Amino acid sequence: MTGRPYVLLSCAMSIDGYIDDATAERLLLSNDTDLDRIDAVRAACDAIMVGAATVRRDDPRLLVRSEQRQAERVARGLPPSPAKVTVTASGDLDPTARFFTVGDGPKLVYCPTGVVEKTREQVGAVATVVDAGDPVTPHAVLADLAGRGVGRLMVEGGGTVHCQFLTAGVADELHLVVAPFFVGDRRAPRFVGDGRFPWHPGRRARVVEVRQIGDVVLTRYALSDRCPG
């Protein structure tokens, strides 16, 4: 699939591989310095994607926070923040979620053909709902995003979405942050579930950077030849 956007996956997890806990509260895994690093990564992308479960559970803003980075984007002829992208099979999205209400940039919702009508009823007034076929695949989403001029996509989770991009072999780079504590609760979500991943004991991914950022550690993995370094 030539011409698809460059895909950068970003995830923070506990030492034991959990990306959240099982409580109703949002679990903070990164620290302030790392969140600023993530802000810079966001600012360098054309679109940011999260799964619908993350929209519902975390209610993220998905904006570039730094005013300087926003201004630099605008000076380059770009909107202050990247476009926001989500995917849903249920169409259960709340139009008052911050994904839709915060920021002036485009909001894209990909869904299977069968729920396009329902999804448009839910969020059609605040987002562009795209019929992505059935089932929705990362390839279909990437092809559509490429057609909308997205050259660089940041996928911020959750685990279901990360797992699909990894197993589909369409991830170019992974930023994995490990926070210095355990969650220790199997009811909590993990980074990825089961799947046939292109990287296994016989085909190891390439580490391009390891960096301590305060009390967390970032490892950057190259997952394709498109990843520099």
Ligand X SMILES: NC(=O)c1ccc[n+]([C@@H]2O[C@H](COP(=O)([O-])OP(=O)(O)OC[C@H]3O[C@@H](n4cnc5c(N)ncnc54)[C@H](OP(=O)(O)O)[C@@H]3O)[C@@H](O)[C@H]2O)c1
- In whole angstroms, the minimum distance from the beta carbon of 90 to ligand X comes to 3
Distance CA 133, CA 114 (A): 9
Write down how long the chain is: 229
C-alpha to C-alpha distance for 92 and 52, rounded to whole angstroms: 8
d(CA 83, CA 114): 25
Q: Report the C-alpha gap between 137 and 119 in whole angstroms.
A: 17
Q: Candidates 31, 66, 128, 160: give the one binding ligand X (CB under 6 A).
A: 160
- Min dist CB 51 to ligand X, Å, is 2
Q: Which letter, b or e, does each residue of 110-129 get, where b requires 16 or more Cβ atoms within 10 Å of its Cβ?
A: bbbeebbebbbebbeebbeb
Q: How far is the CB of 110 from ligand X (least distance, A)?
A: 7
Show contacts with ligand X in window 124-153 (CB under 6 A).
Answer: 135-136
| CB 54 to ligand X: min, Å | 3
Measured from the CB of residue 67, what is the shortest distance to ligand X in angstroms?
A: 24
Please give the backbone phi and psi of residue 131, each rounded to the nearest 5 degrees, phi first: -75, 110
Closer CB to ligand X, 78 or 168, in the complex: 168
29 makes contact with ligand X (CB under 6 A) = yes
Distance from chain centroid for Cα 48: 6
Q: Show the site string, 32-61: x = touches ligand X by CB under 6 A, - = not.
A: ------------------xxxxx--xx---
Q: Which residues bind ligand X (CB under 6 A)?
A: 11-12, 19-20, 29, 50-54, 57-58, 87-90, 92, 135-136, 156-161, 164, 189
